Amino acid sequence: MARILVTGGTGYIGSHTTVELMQQGYDVVIVDNLSNSNADVLDGIEAIVGTRPPFEQVDCNDAVAMADVFTRYPDIVGVIHFAASKAVGESVEQPLLYYRNNLMSLVTLLEQMKAHNVHNIVFSSSCTVYGQPTPEHLPVDETAPIQVALSPYGNTKQINEEIIRDEAHADKSLQATILRYFNPIGAHPSAMIGELPNGVPQNLLPFVTQTAAGLRKQLKVYGNDYNTPDGSCIRDYIYVVDLAKAHVKAVERMLSGKSEEQVEVFNLGTGRGLSVLEILNTFIQVTGVDVPYEIVGRREGDIEQVWAKPDKANNVLGWKADTPVEEVLLSAWNWEKKLRNIE
């Protein structure tokens, strides 16, 4: 079977995608520098799938090490590129780190793909490229205008998309699929893998589950004065396992020559916007666990409301995110309980 290189494969979305690829019969090789993940994730993947994927602890910015990976795995036919720094707030504080990590890693990867005749890439992009969409562009489809990024993180995603388009224009053999995700949450139903950030979580749900588990005193809700029904930010929260399956569909589409354009773009979301407070209250409801929280000021770089119009992914890619949010929140809590040995 074809081998897929998964960069950032021990990370949150990368590990779930690795599982889905392997379960569909693909060979995988993971590259990750473990800057925001842990090699123990490989145990979880092995526990679910039954085999352990090859793992190379390599930084995607390291051209020599990346060349070596492509040389040692000559059967690589496609790449899914997740490896990136990904926290909006941190990117505002450390922009240069984000530009180095997120731009150079893609450039290095594309150079090595070209040198080793690998022509297919799935790029992990983000709904942050749409900024705060105007009301006529909500829900957001792929034709919504790209807006000036509100954070260096969002900007790196925009620039990376441009890099891919420019390289595809120059190299007609390159086939790319850009997947713009909305907000991934939840954990594998086995509770063998899930979201495990190093240090303080930057995403909502790990903060919720860690607070529920007693690791954190209380959750901060950033702003309740937004122009939304309950005043808190609205996002399109998508189950990470559903999201992972979309990557397999994208790989299949490219490898079977079904892509209609050299660079295809898909928005991946549920099509339903939920507020921070709705997520919080639903979590409390389905788990029966209280989560103390306080309302604090808005956080720089945060977008007020955004949710997807996923029709193109539904109809063209043949993919749909339809796991009920209650089930997703429960999966996140089961993962947290396993991590903390909570009965």
Out of 130, 153, 181, 226, the active site residue is 153
Using an 8 Å Cβ cutoff, are 274 and 237 in contact? yes
Phi, psi of 80 (to 5 degrees): -115, 120
Active site residue 153: yes
HSE-up of residue 205 (Cα within 13 Å, Cβ side)? 30
Residue 324: enclosing H or E segment and its boundaries?
Answer: none
Cβ neighbours of 23 (radius 10 Å): 14
What CA–CA distance (Å, rounded) separates 108 from 103? 9
What CA–CA distance (Å, rounded) separates 250 from 236? 21
- Tokens at 48, concatenated: 């679910």
Do strands 3-7 and 27-31 pair parallel, antiparallel, or not at all (unpaired)? parallel
Task: Calculate the CA 57 to chain-centre distance.
Answer: 20
Cβ neighbours of 39 (radius 10 Å): 12
Cβ contacts of 37 within 8 Å, gap of 6 or more: 8, 10, 11, 12, 14, 15, 196, 198
What CA–CA distance (Å, rounded) separates 148 from 342? 44
- Tokens at 319, concatenated: 């993919």
Interhelix angle 152-170/105-115, nearest 10 degrees? 20
3-state secondary structure of 225: coil
HSE-up of residue 161 (Cα within 13 Å, Cβ side)? 21
What CA–CA distance (Å, rounded) separates 118 from 74? 9
CA torsion sign for 335, 83, 185, 200 is: positive
- Tokens at 3, concatenated: 């081998």
**Annotated catalytic sites, by residue?**
153
